Amino acid sequence: MNGELTQEQLKQVRKKCKEFGIDPIINLPNEDSRLTEVKRLDIMEKDLEQDQRYNSLTELAAYLTECPHSAINVLGSSVQRCKIIFGLSKEEEKDFERDEPRDLSICQFSLTRPHQPLVIENLLEDKRTKNKYSHPDSSSLRFYAGAPLISSRGFSLGTLCVVDDNPKSLKHNQIEGLRLLADQIVALIESEHDRKQTKNSETEDEEHAEVTGRYFSSATILFADIVGFTSKVERLDPGELLATLNTFFRGFDKIVIKHKVRKVKTIGDAYMCVGGISEQSNSHAKNVCMVGLDMLGFVEAVNLQQEILGKERWELRIGIHSGPLIAGTSGDTFDIWGDAVNIAARLESTSEPRKIHISEKTRDYLEGLGNLISREDIKLKGKGVWNTFFLESLNS
């Protein structure tokens, strides 16, 4: 890739990292695939400054976050290349170096969690940056926030970032706004790339015919399952069991359509749906939570009939999480993939009967609309300890 460092230059940079006390990000999983994606879109060499749309989006990022400077940075294998920077004077622009060794950059740390925003409220306090920015020769920067530029294939190209000379924090809607602007930048890059492609890409189409997907930087996933289903299988007549399960799933399907959420699939007694795919807006968390509340209400309505007939009650437990994912088709089947999906499943398994268990991220998307009961820290299998909530109701 043009502009990357030679082995000797990289050796000198690593020496400088040692002097600054910086631990560069190395041995990243899927790094070869990520670099292939950067090369596919030709983003390292693309001149974004000639297109006013990129300039406007970068400028808007600064206004939204109330930061003096913003930039679009692309991350190669050894170099961070600044494609656009907003907030420099004409004199400062003359002295500004477009290429910086990746190992010395802040943006490199976004690659460790490429689907999450990177916010460092005080560069002098964060262990990743404090040694560098307390060095006498370092710049005066004290705040950094970067939204990853994620391609439709789910790989990080770099960041849309903002910086400030003073420590600060951003509100949830400012971080969300930064994410949406990053999505717009990637959409522009990919649409231009697609327009330039010729029709002779049949081989590539065949290679991706079996599984096709698209990256969504923000969506909300719901998992629901029947409490004690295994014991019901042992006790109930198969015909009655299937009839009741079909009643629930048909009802859930209508609820999902009502709230403009997309059903993913049923797995045994489990039901899975996602918001933010069919209709992209910040209301996806609210819509999915409404689905969960209506599901619980529907099950209770069925239980009234069950009690009249002298039959046993059914109970549902639900888990909801918001985050990035890939949605697409495998053969003729719609499905979703990603860590956010796994977390939603963990929230469901640690929920309680007749409860909706939501993550802190989903709570943030509700923006105060939810009536919540905070749980003590919950350990999610393979995910560590999380701050979670039970959703009681939603304010209109």
Per-residue pLDDT tens over the stretch 18-51: 888 889 998 998 899 999 999 999 999 999 988 9
pLDDT of 279 over the 80 cut: no
Using the predicted structure, report yes or no on whether residue 200 has a pLDDT greater than 80: no
Is the pLDDT at 197 greater than 80? The verdict is: no
Instruction: Tell whether the model's pLDDT for residue 109 goes beyond 70.
Output: yes
Amino acid at 28: L
**Which range, of 140-149, 151-160, 322-331, averages the lowest pLDDT?**
322-331
Q: What is the DSSP letter of 5?
A: P
Per-residue confidence (pLDDT) for residue 210, from 0 to 100: 54
Please give the structure tokens belonging to residue 113: 């969690």
Please state the domain extents for the chain. Answer: 7-194, 211-394
Give percent of the chain above pLDDT 70: 95
- Both ends of the chain: CA-CA distance in Å? 52
Cα 379 from chain centroid (whole Å): 21
Beta bridge partners of 120: 144
Mean pLDDT, residues 67-88 taken together: 95
Confidence tier at 309 by pLDDT (50, 70, 90):
confident
The band of 90, judged by pLDDT with boundaries at 50, 70 and 90, is confident
> What homologous superfamily does CATH list for 211-394?
Nucleotide cyclase, GGDEF domain (3.30.70.1230)
The amino acid occupying position 305 is Q
Q: Which candidate, 198, 150, 185, 196, places its Cα nearest to that of 51?
A: 185
Helices assigned H by DSSP within 259-359: 284-308, 339-349
Eight-class DSSP state of 377:
P
Q: Which residue, 17, 6, 144, 152, is CA-closest to 69? A: 144
pLDDT at residue 290, rounded to an integer = 97
Residue 280: predicted pLDDT: 64
Confidence of residue 244 (pLDDT cuts 50, 70, 90): confident
Q: In a 3-state reduction of DSSP, which class is residue 152?
A: coil
Supply the CATH classification number for the domain 7-194. Answer: 3.30.450.40
Report pLDDT for 198. 55
pLDDT range class, residue 211, cuts 50, 70, 90:
low
- Output the pLDDT for position 207: 45
Mean pLDDT of the chain: 90
Q: What is the mean pLDDT of residues 337-344?
A: 94
The fraction of the chain above a pLDDT of 90, given in percent, is: 67
pLDDT at 258: 95
The span from the CA of 70 to the CA of 380, in Å, is 36
**What is the C-alpha to C-alpha distance for residues 144 and 68, in angstroms, rounded to an integer?**
11
Q: What is the pLDDT of residue 190?
A: 93
